[in-house]
Amino acid sequence: MDRFERQVILPGFGPEGQARLRSASVLVIGAGGLGCPILLYLAAAGVGKIGIVDGDSVAKSNLNRQVLYGEKDLGKNKAETAARHFQEKYKDIKWEIFPEFITVENAQELISGFDLIIDGTDNFPTRYLVNDACVLQDKPLVFGAIYQHEGQVSVFNLGENACNYRDLYPQMPAASEIPNCSETGVLGVLPGIIGNLMALEAIKVLSVLGKPLKNRVLFFNSLTSQTYEVEIARNSNSQQSIPDTWQAFEAMDYELACEGIKQLTWDEAMRKMNRDVAFVDVREPGEMPPLECTGLMKIPLSTLSAQLDRLEDSEEILFFCQSGIRSQKAAQQLQQAFPDKKIFSIRGGINALKTS
């Protein structure tokens, strides 16, 4: 008797289904609220090879939903911590660990070694990036996302005449249009449910079971327990916005395309620093840790519109905040007031400075 007996005896799944899972490989991008339940169930079901991509480290505020991690894991990389958990638990799965974020530079290499990709990331630029990479490489993509008490799930790019994320959302939204979990809050159960639906879709695709959510998107509302299913159709306009070569893909700036604002790392920002560049902290007074350096301006986002004159004479302006969302809002606000200025937002904010 093996650990898969209860699913192998299922009519329609059987030893064939199990053999398909065993020989399959899945790349889970993002080991956070969605990634944790996805990984738990793919590993329990016996997927042969699982890759985990995540450059983030465990924070205390993750623990209400990222159920693979505990208090002893704070500060540790999520991909490595998750893989270690499973390596102790099961001996029959091959793990590939990528403690990094997916980018236009590494995407092709990351996804090429896997049969199916799962998007458990948490921001629009990455979701479009993963989608386009999967279209270019012709890989099926299980998609899921959450907002407050709601979630959406779909399967993209599966077989003939398949839709992808750009058919569902042809216009790239800005992150600053829609607050993320850290701003709006989330009950841990919701990503648990949506992540499980995503794991289920992955298992259905890999073991050729049932009807995956191809060309359909499922909405779930945890407050009303209602679901809503919508049929998606291919959209020739949105197909055209997908880069058609890897070279074109690597030249894409997904953050700029989504936000209209160029984002910089702290390293890039430091290299730009000189007398003519305004360096602005848009956090509210009292946010920790404080950053003190010469020439730093403090203009809380809530007061920016009243203090635009302070930035009038600067040609280039670098904004930062705690996590990189409010600084994008500030940059967009300022760009509207001064269309000719070069305005940047520092990716990940102070949180990224702490880990870099």
Question: Which residues make up the interface to other proteins (CB under 8 A)?
Answer: 30, 32-35, 119-124, 127, 144-148, 150-152, 167-173, 175, 177-178, 180-181, 186, 191, 217, 219, 221, 224, 228-233, 235, 237
CB of 311 to other proteins, least distance (A): 23
CA separation for the pair 178, 204 (Å, rounded): 31
Nearest CB to other proteins, comparing residues 108 and 235 = 235
Nearest CB to other proteins, comparing residues 151 and 300 = 151
CB of 85 to other proteins, least distance (A): 19
First-to-last alpha carbon distance for the chain, in angstroms, is 48
Nearest CB to other proteins, comparing residues 231 and 292 = 231
CB of 153 to other proteins, least distance (A): 10
Type of residue at 96: E
Q: What is the DSSP string of 93-161?
A: -EEEEE-S---TTTHHHHHHT-SEEEE---SHHHHHHHHHHHHHHT--EEEEEEETTEEEEEEES-STT
Which H or E run includes 34? Answer: none
Nearest CB to other proteins, comparing residues 80 and 122 = 122
Nearest CB to other proteins, comparing residues 17 and 35 = 35
Mark residue 263 as left, alpha or beta (left: phi above 0; alpha: psi -120 to 50; beta: remaining): beta
- Name the E strands within the chain: 25-29, 49-53, 94-98, 116-119, 141-147, 150-156, 216-221, 226-231, 262-264, 277-281, 296-298, 316-320, 342-346
Nearest CB to other proteins, comparing residues 247 and 336 = 336
CB of 98 to other proteins, least distance (A): 17
CB of 123 to other proteins, least distance (A): 5
Q: Which of 34, 12, 26 is nearest to 188 (CA)?
A: 34
Q: Which of 116, 278, 297 is nearest to 201 (CA)?
A: 116
CB of 174 to other proteins, least distance (A): 8
Q: Which of 99, 131, 122 is nearest to 34 (CA)?
A: 122
Nearest CB to other proteins, comparing residues 99 and 144 = 144
